[in-house]
Amino acid sequence: MRVTSLFISTLSLAFTLTGCVEPYVPAVLDAPASFLVVDGFINGNGRTRIKLARTANLSATTPPPAEKGAKLFVVDNTGARYNLSEQTAGSYQSDSLTLPPGRQYQLRITTTGGAAYASALVPLKVTPPIDKLAWQLTGNQVNIKVSAHDDAQQARFYRWSFVETWEFTAGLHSNIEYYAKPPFPLSMMDVRTTPIYTCWRTERASTIKQTSTVQLSQDALTDFVLLTIPKRAERFKIRYSVLVSQVAQTAEEFAYYEQLRKNTEAVGTVNDPLPTQLTGNIHRVDEASEPVLGFVGAHTVRQQRLFIDHTELPPLAESQYDTPYITCAAYPQYFCSGGGCDRLGVIALFASPTNIPLDFISDPDFGDGILSASADCADCRLRGSTTKPSFW
């Protein structure tokens, strides 16, 4: 999601007159303004993580610039302060904190240029636990559902985020590996010791999922659908896991994220709502008219993890899963034929990381060779990590 989409939206208009189409390019594409973007919330029972960036022109081809070197801290209405330190460019983090409930909290920011920003004081919302996190197969879809309730009926406005992790394998298996060990070319090919077949991929969903129980007599949710995934997805080929984080929020924060959802997810057809400018709860202290993008709420977080093993779902053939390896193929590279050998040429081919040797082969007509594939098909590290997650 481009940061600029939080503030300005562009409609491409085309008019047809006498067979001529002239595109309209709005001036905002090259607007010079650069506004602060604040992404994150005050965590009442863990580490507060805040990302700072600047808006970029819609015509820009590079990521929005990070706001580096700023000073951040959380302050409550009694004067207590909690510092955040910069971990990577534009990403700031506090120690793990347990904030006292019943107080109000705000984030304060001072940039390297001396500009001061502050979020509005907000109450610390105490989030009820997740009662149940479950999945259900409905037709060709797997639905991830959550249930929660608050006996005190103080939560009312719920929002979830989720991090998905799944185990997968490359499209083709490599049994041999290229080693740069001169002087003998064949000594460069040996049994593989570097694992590249089995990996784990992790993705943090960017969609906004929230709901309210304001219209209900009880502050309770039962089997609210968070995710819908096709059962043929690669996620379910071996093993899948999702970590769900639940927060309770204020009505103002709920309204902000609902408008953000409409601006970013529900725009694309004539029946969708038109994008509007978002008004968050952050302002520049010495220049109130300067737009600042973001809403900093304060809440405790509840988490729960769910696993789905492929054995729990109806069995599918290898070819029935939707993976990026469907079109992968192996290719023979013969280095001895017609009484001559081009070992050096073949070994040089595999010196490139884009080519992966799979195994030795021999053919009565073509001679000895090596079966090979592109790295996209044989090296799972291009899409994930070979390090098994600690929770696996």
Of 65, 51, 168, 64, nearest in space to 107 by CA: 51
Compute the distance between CA of residue 261 and CA of residue 258 in angstroms, rounded to an integer: 5
Per DSSP, 185 falls in state G
Compute the distance between CA of residue 331 and CA of residue 352 in angstroms, rounded to an integer: 16
- Does 10 or 341 have the greater pLDDT score? 341
Compute the distance between CA of residue 373 and CA of residue 353 in angstroms, rounded to an integer: 11
Q: If you average pLDDT over residues 269-280, what whole number do you get?
A: 61
Question: What are phi and psi for residue 381, nearest 5 degrees?
Answer: -65, -15
* 232 close to 250: Cβ distance less than 8 angstroms: no
pLDDT at residue 6 tops 50: no
Residue 107 has what pLDDT?
98
* 102 close to 222: Cβ distance less than 8 angstroms: no
Q: What predicted TM-score, i.e. pTM, was given to this entire model?
A: 0.85
What is the percentage of the chain residues whose pLDDT exceeds 90? 72
Least confident of 93-97, 163-167, 176-180: 176-180
Q: What angle do CA 37, 38, 43 make, to 5 degrees?
A: 170
Residue 264 has what pLDDT?
83
Question: What are phi and psi for residue 340, nearest 5 degrees?
Answer: -130, 155
Q: If you average pLDDT over residues 250-274, what whole number do you get?
A: 78
Share the mean pLDDT of the chain.
88
